[in-house]
Amino acid sequence: MDVEILIHGVPNGHDYYGPKEEQNNAGSFYITSQESIKFIVEIKKNGNTPYVYYSYLRYKGVIGAEGRSGSYFGLTLRLDEYYNDILHAYNMLDMVFKKYVLGSLLIPTGETYEYNTPDFASKKSDIERLQQGLIQLIQSTCVASKFIKIDNSFINPISNAPICNIADITDGIMLSTLKKHSKVVLSPDYKSNLEKEYEKKMQDAENRSNSVVAERDKKISEKDTTISSLNNTIKANESKIASLEQDIKQKNQELSQHKQKGDIAQLVERIKDPIVKLSEYFRIKEEIHKPKTNYYGKKNFIIGIINGVLTILVLTSILLVHFVKFPTGGKSGKKNDELMNLKTELVNLKQQIKEKDAVIFDLRKTSEQDASQKVNLKIDISGFNGGNLSATKNYKVRIKEGANTYTGKGSWSIINATITKGKATDNEIEIRPTGKGEVEIAYNVSSYKVENSPRIISVEGSTSGTENSLEILISPNDEEVELGKEYTFSVKGYNGQGTWRVHGFEIKSHTPTSAIVKVIKLDDNTPEKATISYTPEGGKKVTKQFKYKKQ
């Protein structure tokens, strides 16, 4: 297998260390980037030979030898075969960077890395040690069956290279994507699928909330507009009614006065002649039949009678004017009709406003209840009070709302367990652990948060399915370890998360599946053997022991 290791970056202007024919290719990485780490995998031809280039790049926080910002450092591994374990390839280059680059080519200064050299040629011995270390790591940790010959199916025009968080990529997806685009850009700084999904859910929830609020505000605005219009109409009608009532009051007063004057005048006019004739009759008769001495007394008596009758008639007319209702007509009648219609309309308008106020009150009350509503959802496992689940037992699982079973819509997501009763969309189901690692129980429901979802519970006697094939490798491949010497350990046959434990070693740096350690003497009672162990997530611990070399 053809292996080349290229070093490039900007210690003091762009510099390169490696085969001359690759110098132009290395210069393509001198760009501005906001990511701290990029891992670019690219397949292309150099002459007639196709190669795969694994480029480990550091951008953000890298400073030139003279304090110049905007620098970068690149480590590129060129192979004539594609290694189909992308996470392991990344971990190898990351480990080499931390072991051979930091402290020699780059000096860590807080959150930045500053070049320790103006050019790579002056650090030739450090670079050669780096190259030899990476080659040894490839030989000792890479699985031969995962190398794939590069044929014409890999060679495609490079355009719109896909980007992905390195935690989300799988070997299968990486291989198919690389064959389609010939280039893939990975970085731990890119948003992961989990982050994207969370942001999408948050955005959907915010959109739904904004939609509800907007619809509520729209309805309230429409009601407020209607009320304002009705209030304006009422004010206009009340003003019109007050004016009409004033007009009618004035007309009634004028009419009353007119009737009083007219009726009395007509009455006096009608009885004036009879009274005069009656008076004359009594006067003539008195003159004929009575002596003159009594003339003035009788005359005064008759005049008194006439005046009394006249007074009674006038008073009667006045009483008739005040107590008898005369029929109305003309303009006064029309105004009364219009007044009655306006009063009826006013009553109707006030009733409409009362109804509108009730609707808006209910709407606002409902909106406030919706906004303040909190649903207390929780995953409940009957008969389980902590500890481990049994792989031979069925468990009833339900989603609770407070003390009762939730009646809304949702779905279950179960890992390492089988639904033995019910279906994923039921609110109550029964499950049985498979015994293949921890059981994860999650309940998904839109709009609400489930308090303890997911629930992750260990299973008695479960296995991860990986421990039988898992193996710890050491580089250099010594049977005995030497005090003060550094070794690289890696896990073969496993690509997940895990935990390293050591005794007689000091861990200098590590990744989920590899570690650089230094052999140390703990005390005068140092045991005869140094021990290193690795526990895969959800699996059993694997341990390896080494004797100390005699000094």
CB atoms within 10 A of CB 419: 15
Domains in the chain: ranges and CATH: 3-190 (no CATH), 202-371 (no CATH), 377-457 (2.60.40), 471-548 (2.60.40.10)
Pairing assessment for the beta strands 112-115 and 62-63 based on DSSP bridges: parallel
- Amino acid occupying residue 322: H
The number of C-alpha atoms within 13 Å of 349 and in the hemisphere containing its C-beta is 19
Both tokens assigned to 513: 């599946």
User: Are 160 and 181 within 8 A, CB to CB?
Assistant: yes
User: Are 381 and 396 within 8 A, CB to CB?
Assistant: yes
Q: How far apart are CA 476 and CA 496, in angstroms?
A: 24
Q: DSSP 3-state assignment of 550?
A: coil
Give buried/exposed letters for 77-113 (b at 16+ CB in 10 A, else e). bbbbbbbbbbbbbbbbbbbbbbbbbeebbbeeeeeeb
The model's pTM: 0.43
Residue by residue, pLDDT tens for the chain (551 residues) are: 889 999 999 998 899 999 999 988 888 898 888 889 999 999 998 888 899 999 999 999 999 988 888 899 999 999 999 999 999 999 999 999 999 999 999 998 888 999 999 999 999 999 999 999 999 999 989 999 999 999 888 887 666 788 999 888 889 989 998 988 899 999 988 887 766 666 676 676 667 767 777 777 787 888 778 888 878 888 777 777 777 777 777 777 766 776 665 555 565 565 556 555 555 554 544 554 444 444 445 445 544 555 555 455 545 544 444 444 444 455 556 666 766 776 676 676 667 666 666 655 665 555 555 544 456 788 999 878 777 888 888 889 999 888 888 888 888 888 888 888 888 889 899 998 887 678 889 888 876 778 878 888 888 765 544 444 678 888 887 888 888 888 888 887 676 778 888 888 888 888 878 888 888 876 555 557 888 988 887 677 888 888 888 76
The residue among 140, 160, 9, 139 whose CA lies nearest residue 79 is 139
148 contacts: CB under 8 Å, gap ≥ 6 = 81, 82, 83, 84, 175
Q: How far apart are CA 459 and CA 513, in angstroms?
A: 24
Both ends of the chain: CA-CA distance in Å? 38
Both tokens assigned to 362: 């209910």
